[in-house]
Amino acid sequence: TAGIRDFRPRIHFTPPSMWMNDPNGMVYVDGVYHLFYQKYPYSTGHGPIHWGHAVTKNLVHWEHKPIAIYPDELGSAFSGSCVYDRNNTSGYGTERHAPIIAIYTSHNNNTGLEQQSIAYSTDGGNHFEKSYLNPVIKNPGLSDFRDPKAFWNSKKECWSLVLAAYDRVQFYSSKDMKQWEKTGEFGLEENHASGVFECPNLFPVHVDDKVLWVLLLSMTTTVEDGKSRTQYFIGDFDGETFRCTYPSDEPLWIDFGFDNYAGVTFQNLDEPLFIGWAQNWEYSDRVPTGEFCSQMTLARKLSLKKIGDTYRLCGQPEGIRQFQAQAYRIENKTRIRSETFGMRIHGRGDAKLTLANSKNQEIIIEVNDDRIIVDRGKAGANDFDETFMTEQYSRATMTRLAPGEYDVELIFDVSLLELFADDGLEVCTMEMYPDTPYDRVIWEGNLQVEYYQIV
């Protein structure tokens, strides 16, 4: 039953122990990917938040680093971002080392007041010094004012950032990461999911010989369905503000599962590379993982694909190519001897693929020419939380944007499933807690299935 098994994913980032939420400050410097994250080192629930730190060169093997940012008299260190200040615009660099600058939200734990602060590192992110100028962006009288995501603004040759300000996002710009001026706002439009905005992220995507800008926006509880989800908008950034130029009838989600929240992209890479918190605020502090709580998604390369006269975001897993290259064809009812593996499913028409264990627990994936359904309702322990077992949090239905023949790739890692269909047009992330490992794959329908072991 719950808590007895080691549910720790092997190739997904997890904290060494205790609580973790949002990925923060992801930046690529000198061949190293840095991940900072919301960390509470004293319990498996959320508390006065620090920035944890880890690094990787290959996106699957992570090295833990000491805590990067501690709470101080301005409050906890809520979510934020890092930039690599190559030209030392901030003046915080040394002669030999350009600084990494973190900008994050100081959240006062007594009053809830939120303001933006900076800290800098001149030793490759190992040690951060806070600026005496903090807070560098004062609260303008808003109850929610957080999660600054900074980026280089090539239109105005300056730094810009986007932050969440209750039901809108605000843009600021700066020459030196220290002094900031507001340049614009983007707010609610028709047909978009609403709720308190969190963790915005604006980045350019090259597609069809042009550049489009994608704005990611997380919402803890959308007014529409009460779930924690991340929405996106496609449009234009004029150097001061964002405009949605490809409006849609329905909100656009980056993921159809229940466990991908607060994700953002790395700074200082030419193409967007994303990591999300593979968890849900609804039940995050009750999951049966024991000494640690929460995992990140795999890193995902994001791109845009033209669908009709508009575009959609695609996500594809990164860092696992050497395992994918080993994929081999398997027969129906094959035994699985690993807890961390991938599968590639090719087919057409109605099909159903099940991963099952000896306790009659199973994940069911139904595919047809129009839809994909992932159901974790009977996948394992679900008595730790009342909502986790409800249909609303069990079955994810995706309408395929590329109907017909299908290619679906799934990666299963002990307690986390990630599914990528139609070149990443449909993505689904779900955690599940089987009492014993799934050891069989069974399918109905006309499928060709390939398997690759990862660990």
Least distance from ligand FRU to the Cβ atom of residue 116, Å: 11
Q: Which of 184, 175, 225 has its CA nearest to residue 202?
A: 184
Residue 262 within binding range of ligand FRU, rule CB under 6 A: yes
Instruction: Establish how many alpha carbons lie within 13 A of residue 199's alpha carbon, considering only the half-sphere containing its beta carbon.
Output: 29
Q: Per CB under 6 A, does 146 bind ligand FRU? A: yes
Give the number of other Cβ atoms within 10 Å of residue 244's Cβ.
16
Q: Does 27 bind ligand FRU (CB under 6 A)?
A: no
**Min dist. Cβ of residue 166 to ligand FRU (A):** 11
Give the one residue of 199, 202, 219, 320 binding ligand FRU; rule: CB under 6 A: 199
Candidates 85, 198, 422, 431: give the one binding ligand FRU (CB under 6 A): 198
* Separation between Cα atoms, residue 80 and residue 104, nearest integer Å: 4
CB of 74 to ligand FRU, least distance (A): 14
38 vs 394, beta carbon nearer ligand FRU = 38
Q: Which of 62, 68, 147, 415 binds ligand FRU (CB under 6 A)?
A: 147
> Secondary structure of 353-409 in the HEC alphabet?
EEEECCCCCEEEEEECCCEEEEEEEECCCCCCCCCCCCHHHCEEEEECCCCCCEEEE
Closest CA to 389 of 293, 288, 292: 288
Q: Which is nearer to ligand FRU, 105 or 116 (CB)?
A: 105
Q: Which is nearer to ligand FRU, 105 or 115 (CB)?
A: 105
- Minimum Å distance from CB 387 to ligand FRU? 17
Tokens for 185, please give them: 């706002």
Applying CB under 6 A, the site for ligand FRU has a residue count of 12
**Cα dist. 39→22, 25, 158, 291 in Å?**
9, 13, 31, 14
Closest to 273 in 3D by CA, of 56, 28, 48, 67: 28
- CB nearer to ligand FRU: pick between 114 and 413: 114
Closer of 29 and 163 to ligand FRU (Cβ): 163
Residue 282 sits in the site that holds ligand FRU (CB under 6 A) = no
Residue 105 near ligand FRU by CB under 6 A: yes
Spot the catalytic one: 6, 22, 285, 350. 22
Kindly state whether residue 79 participates in binding ligand FRU, applying the rule CB under 6 A.
Answer: yes
Exposed, middle or buried: residue 156 (CB in 10 Å: 0-12, 13-18, 19+)?
A: middle
Q: Minimum CB separation from ligand FRU for residue 164, in Å? A: 7
Give yes or no for residue 366 binding ligand FRU (CB under 6 A). no
Q: What is the dihedral of CA 433, 13, 227, 235, to 10 degrees?
A: -150
Q: How many CB atoms lie within 10 A of CB 340?
A: 18
In the complex with ligand FRU, which residue's Cβ is closer, 147 or 418?
A: 147
Give me the least distance between CB of 392 and ligand FRU, in Å please.
Answer: 20
Q: Does 22 sit near ligand FRU (CB under 6 A)?
A: yes
Is 139 a binding residue for ligand FRU by CB under 6 A? The answer is no
- Give the C-alpha separation, 449 to 445, whole Å: 11
Name residue 217's amino acid. Answer: L
Distance (Å, whole) CA 249 – CA 192: 8
Site mask, ligand FRU, residues 28-67, x = CB under 6 A? Answer: ----------x----------x------------------
Structure tokens given for 348 = 């057409």
Total residue length of the chain: 455
| SS3 annotation, 135-177 | CCECCCCCCCCEEEEEEEECCCCEEEEEEEECCEEEEEEECCC
What's the DSSP call for residue 321?
A: H
102 belongs to the binding site for ligand FRU (CB under 6 A): no
Comparing CB distances to ligand FRU, the nearer of 284 and 289 is: 284
Q: Smallest distance, Å, CB 77 to ligand FRU?
A: 9
Q: What gap in Å lies between CA 3 and CA 364, rounded to an integer? A: 23
Distance CA 312, CA 150 (A): 24
**Shortest spacing between CB 231 and ligand FRU, in angstroms:** 14
Question: Nearer to ligand FRU by C-beta: 49 or 275?
Answer: 49
Among 14, 21, 267, 357, binds ligand FRU (CB under 6 A): 21
User: What's the closest the beta carbon of residue 262 comes to ligand FRU, in angstroms?
Assistant: 4
Question: Is residue 208 annotated as a catalytic residue, yes or no?
Answer: no
Report the residue from 62, 78, 232, 412 that binds ligand FRU according to the rule CB under 6 A. Answer: 78
Catalytic residues: 22
Per CB under 6 A, residues contacting ligand FRU are 21-22, 38, 49, 78-79, 105, 146-147, 198-199, 262
